Structure 1
Amino acid sequence: MGANLDITQAVAHGSRLAQAGVRIGAPASAVLRRTAFAIEADAKALIVAMDAVDTGDMLNSVTTEITGDGRSGSMSAEVGPTVDYGIYVHEGTSVMAGRPYLANAFDRQVPGFQAALAQLAAAGT
């Protein structure tokens, strides 16, 4: 399970970054990496805070996978648990309320990501 959320503003900033050229590839790459690992850390902290730890398997399964390095203009990060039941804890079931640790972590980190991309885009123009 990974976060699949609307990031329209981030895409708009990314478009401006692409127009600015390769000179900001490394800084943009660093911003994405930093944000992805911040989301991972925040999600793990929220799992604990939301009392969603039983054996620790889900907590330990939350990882970040980064593909690409920004030099080719293509880079992505996926953050989420690898255990099958992560989605049920996150979204809830008919007998258990959801504990949206990943969505909340994403929502808390995206404003900083957008601000950092906006700064890079402004500096690149």
Structure 2
Amino acid sequence: MRADTSELDAFAARVGRAPTRAESLVSSVLTASAAHIATEAKTRAPVRTGFLRGSIAVVPTGRLSVAVGATANYAAYVEQGTSRMAARPYMRPALEKELPALKTALHGIAGLVAQ
């Protein structure tokens, strides 16, 4: 008696490709989300000279990680405030706006890879 294992073989092949496929998809989603966060932060950043807004950038920090931040030396003071200046957040609201879409995309990837 011989069993048809073609479906099992196809499944094994998909599982074997899953880590590479997942990594590629997650990298793409993270890069896109980081770009959305940076764009939103630039929109929300208070502008006096434009230096803070212009210093907001996305920097890849690893295979599956990116950082979004501002390089202006006073960026944290604007975001968090000081004892003499109220906070004018721009980065956190941008992150909070993008987070639901990022979570949805990552859950979608998990579903795709599991198939």
Q: TM-score range by the shorter chain?
A: 0.7 to 0.9
Between the aligned partners of 1:124 and 1:34, the Cα distance in structure 2 is 19
Matched residue, 1:93: 82
Between the aligned partners of 1:109 and 1:66, the Cα distance in structure 2 is 18
Between the aligned partners of 2:57 and 2:91, the Cα distance in structure 1 is 11
The secondary structure found in structure 1 opposite 2:54 is helix
CA RMSD of aligned residues (A): 1.1
TM-score by length of 1: 0.73
Matched residue, 2:29: 31
Unaligned runs of 5+ in 1: 1-19, 69-73
Matched residue, 2:104: 115
TM-score by length of 2: 0.79
Query: Rg bigger for which structure?
Result: 2
Unaligned runs of 5+ in 2: 1-17
Q: 1:44, CA displacement in angstroms?
A: 0.4
Q: 1:80, CA displacement in angstroms?
A: 0.8
Counterparts of 1:1-125 in structure 2 under 5 Å?
20-47=18-45, 52-68=46-62, 74-125=63-114
Amino acid of the structure 2 residue aligned with 1:101:
Y
- Percentage identity across paired residues of the two chains: 36
